[in-house]
Amino acid sequence: MPHLTRRTIGDLTLCALVIAGSSILFIGAATLPAPRFEPMGSAAVPRILGGLLIILSLVVAVQSLRAPQDEAEPPAAIPFRGTLVLVTLIAYVAALDVLRVPFLIATPVFVVVSGLIMSHLSFRNAFMFSALGLGVTFLVDLVLTKFLYITIG
Amino acid sequence: MLDAFSLLFQWQNLAFLVLGTGLGIVVGAIPGLTATMLIALTLPLTFHMDPVSAVTLLIGEYVGGISGGLITAILLRMPGTPASIVTTFDGYPMSQSGRPERALALGIMASVVGGVISWMFLAGMSPSLARFALQFGPWEYFTLVLMALVMLAVLAQGSLAKGLMGAALGMAFALPGIDSSIGQARLTFGSSTLLSGFGLLPVLIGAFAISQVLRDANGANTALKIDPPKKRLPVYWSDIRTHGPNMLRSSLIGTWIGLLPGIGGNIAALVSYSTTKQLSKTPEKFGTGHEPGVVSGETANNASIGGALIPLITMGIPGSVTEAILIGALTIHNLQPGPLLFQNAPEIAYGIIAAYLVANIIMLLMMWGAVKWIARVVLIPRSVLLSVILVFCVTGSYAVNSSFADVWVMIAFGVIGLGLEAAKVPLGPFVIGFVLSPIAEEQLRASLMMSDGNVAEILTRPWALFFLVLCILTLAWPAIAGRLANRARPEP
């Protein structure tokens, strides 16, 4: 088996995921009724797109395998801090949605944590993001509740 | 048109236009934050606004966002928006050689002239083009949408197959929900949440704002240093003679390129810069701080906005992601962009045209008067901006339907956007595929119903056939261009 670069492995993973997604389109389309009032029916476009995605995945896979393996550039790495921010974001939304933590409490905490992840830990930054979090929270809450009549959390 | 101007000058609409233009300039000036991101984030707020106010706010943000990019392009060699990349070639050397004020003055003037000339085309061509487009039937619309998608995919940077894959994936994500033709659930797999499909706003905010914040989070700690201009911005009457022909040519190039789907302001600026350089008697001066270099790029990138608005309001075809979001803004207010917009909602169609002109004038006044203060915005640490943007993303997605399902969808599309970018699949065709998929399917199904399933009927429709041929030529062009290049290359 030839030595594969990170980029080729990334491309092949993409193709595998897209083909898996296309199979979901075919499975979903199989449950739809046959056309009655029109020639195409509801299932035609999912099938067309599913087929197209499989063909394109195969083309991308072949192109990637045929590309010179030494010269291929590596795929862009997902940043470590970005991953931490994503985890914090998921925790924040889960706190609002699942745990029903009030917006006025969850949001300043989220701003402080995400801000510190993106900068660095220090008392000065913690103070700055606390003030920012409180300010943003009250401003957004004011706009949502007083002007748009929306309550979060 | 006069009614549109009088409606625009009502205080609340004018206030939203000023606000939008100001926000756009500030966000455009910050490298990494784009007009697209700003418009996607503001969209949920427009849900609760009067349609005219909503449109003026978004148009202001669009014009301001593209124009603001020149500030950091000239002062820092960091283009605030991709459309200002070309401005760095000569703007930054001018700034380094002690002429930042002159570079900014020329950039601002060029932006306004480009905007005003492309407005003339927008105002002059749109109503008649819309009347012409009224003749289009479902076959024409389907092939037009197909052509726009193919052009976007082909012209996106990187592999053609990945560009097409992005468009097809975007179209596939638009499929779940109630099939309006038969009123039955499709691809929902028993989930009641999916019955309404993936909302446009969560998808846009996720794909553009969340993915960008996650990508930028690593470098968010770095603070930029900037030396704002200290003297007044100098312009002279002789500039009309010196730079007038360049501005006119670059405006025409920008408007024409803006008309074509998928090309955008950065390519318009690059083509205009290359043309100006080729026509110049002193091409060797370009890249060393030559004034025509700044003028050509900035004129063309602003002119491309006016060009791109023409297919948007006359046919409902977005030329770029920003226009796709504007289509989303119109559909939120139950307005269908396209030729009927001029009949069903003339205040919106003409309002867009009027707002575009006034936004350019507001941009001139704001940038002229406040450029030294706007330049200081880049001193705000990125971590502060990004953490606030995340809160806006969550509240904005929630506010549309008061539902956390939309917020989860936004996060999911943020991750999908990040993954697609990492795999070098362009996001532009993905989002535009998502926006145009329902239109394409509806028109294709209507076409086949009208022709009793006979696909060959397309051959009897000249415009549909023309769009289809263009579509095939666009797909084949990379291979043809490669062949021609190989043939032109001398044999070893």
Q: Of all residues in chain A, what percent carry a pLDDT higher than 70?
A: 91
- Burial category of B222 from C-beta neighbours within 10 Å (exposed 0-12, middle 13-18, buried 19 and up): exposed
Q: Which residue of A has its CA nearest to B455?
A: A39
Q: Return the biggest CA–CA distance within chain A.
A: 68
Q: Taking a C-beta distance cutoff of 8 angstroms, is the pair A111, A141 a contact?
A: no
Residue B490, domain member (yes or no): no
Number of structural domains, chain B? 1
Considering only the beta carbons, identify the residue of B216, B387, B418 that sits closest to A115: B387
**Interface mutation vs chain B, best among A85, A96, A103, A120, most B CBs within 10 Å:** A85
Which residues in B lie closer than 8 A to residue A101 (C-beta atoms)? Answer: none
- Report the sign of the C-alpha dihedral through residues B478, B483, B487, B492, in that order: positive
Residues of B in contact with A40 (CB under 8 A): 444-445, 448, 453
Q: With CB atoms and an 8 Å threshold, state whether B411 touches A93.
A: yes
- Range A40-59 average pLDDT: 91
Q: Does some domain include residue A20?
A: yes
In this predicted structure, what is the pLDDT of residue B446?
A: 87
- Give me the phi and psi of B46, to 5 degrees please: -70, -20
Cβ distance B218 to A107 less than 8 Å, yes or no, reads: no
Both A84 and A141 in a single domain?
yes
In Å, how far is B383's CA from the nearest CA of chain A?
A: 5
Show the tokens assigned to B26: 């500030």
Neighbours of A127 (CB within 10 A): 11
Residue B344 sits at the vertex; the CA angle it makes with B339 and B350, to the nearest 5 degrees, is 70
Residues of A in contact with B217 (CB under 8 A): 79, 81-82, 84-85, 117-118
Residues found in chain A: 153
Tell me the H-state helices in B316-403: 321-332, 341-344, 346-374, 382-401
**Cβ atoms of residues B66 and B59 within 8 Å:** no
Whether residue B238 is contained in a domain is answered as: yes
Quickly tell me which residue has 């029916």 as its tokens.
Answer: A41
Burial string for B462-472 (b: 16+ CB within 10 Å, else e) reads ebbeebbebbe
Instruction: State whether A84 and A143 are in the same domain.
Output: yes
Q: What pLDDT, on a 0 to 100 scale, did the predictor assign at position B210? A: 87
- Amino acid sitting at position B461: R
Specify the pTM.
0.80
pLDDT of residue B397: 85
Q: Give the span between the Cα atoms of B60 and B299, in whole angstroms.
A: 17
Hey, what are B96's tokens? 């380094």
Q: How close A69 comes to chain B (CA, Å)?
A: 16
Most A CBs within 10 A among B211, B383, B449, B458, hence the mutation to make, goes to B383
Total tally of structural domains belonging to chain A: 2
pLDDT at A132 over 70: yes
pLDDT at A74: 54
Cβ within 8 Å, pair A119-B172: no
Q: Which value does ipTM take for this structure? A: 0.90
Collapsing DSSP to helix, strand or coil, B485 comes out as: helix
The C-alpha angle with vertex A54 and arms to B191 and A68, in degrees rounded to 5, equals: 130
Task: Show the CA angle centred on residue A101, arms to residues A99 and A103, nearest 5°.
Answer: 140
In a domain, A110, yes or no: yes
Determine the distance from the C-alpha atom of residue B251 to the mean position of all C-alpha atoms in its chain, rounded to a whole number.
Answer: 17
Domain with A116, as residue range(s), is 80-147
Range of the domain at B178: 2-478
Which residues from B are below 8 Å from A33, CB to CB? 182, 184
Residues of chain B scoring pLDDT < 50: none
B-chain residues within 8 Å CB-CB of A28?
A: 186-187, 189
**Closest by Cβ to A63, choosing from B161, B220, B391:** B161
Per the domain annotation, does A1 fall within a domain?
A: no
pLDDT of B21: 92
Written as one string, the DSSP assignment of A120-143 is: ---HHHHHHHHHHHHHHHHHHHHI
* The two structure tokens encoding residue A104: 């006025």
Q: What is the pLDDT of residue B327?
A: 83
pLDDT of residue B48: 78
A89's CB contacts (< 8 A; 6+ apart) are A110, A114, B210, B390, B394, B411
- Strand, coil or helix: B1: coil
The string of DSSP codes covering B379-437 is GS-HHHHHHHHHHHHHHHHHHHHT-HHHHHHHHHHHHHHHHHHHTT--HHHHHHHHHHH
CB contact (8 A) between residue B187 and residue A46:
yes
Contacts for B1 with CB less than 8 Å, ≥ 6 apart: B123, B350, B353, B354
Q: What is the DSSP letter of B210?
A: I
pLDDT at A16: 94
Q: How confident is the model at residue A1 (pLDDT cuts 50, 70, 90)?
A: low
Q: Say which residues have a Cβ less than 8 Å from residue A30's Cβ, sequence separation at least 6.
A: A43
Question: Which pLDDT score, from 0 to 100, does residue B413 have?
Answer: 93
- Put simply, the answer to whether B165 touches A57 (Cβ < 8 Å) is yes
Q: Sign of dihedral through CA atoms B342, B344, B350, B351? A: negative
Average pLDDT over residues A127-152: 86
Rounded to 5 degrees, what angle do the CA atoms B122, B29, B227 make? 135
Measured over the CA atoms of residue B102, residue B108, residue B111 and residue B117, the dihedral's sign is negative
Does a structural domain hold residue A84? Answer: yes
Task: For residues A12 and A42, state if they share a domain.
Answer: yes
Helix axes B160-173, B138-155, angle to 10 degrees: 130
Give the pLDDT confidence of B168-212 residue by residue, as tens digits. 999 999 999 888 777 888 888 888 888 888 988 888 888 878 888
At A20 the pLDDT is 94
Q: What is the pLDDT of residues B381-432, one digit of tens each?
A: 878 888 888 998 898 888 878 889 999 999 999 999 989 988 888 887 888 8
Helix B346-374 to helix B11-29 angle (10° resolution) is 50
In a domain? residue B136: yes
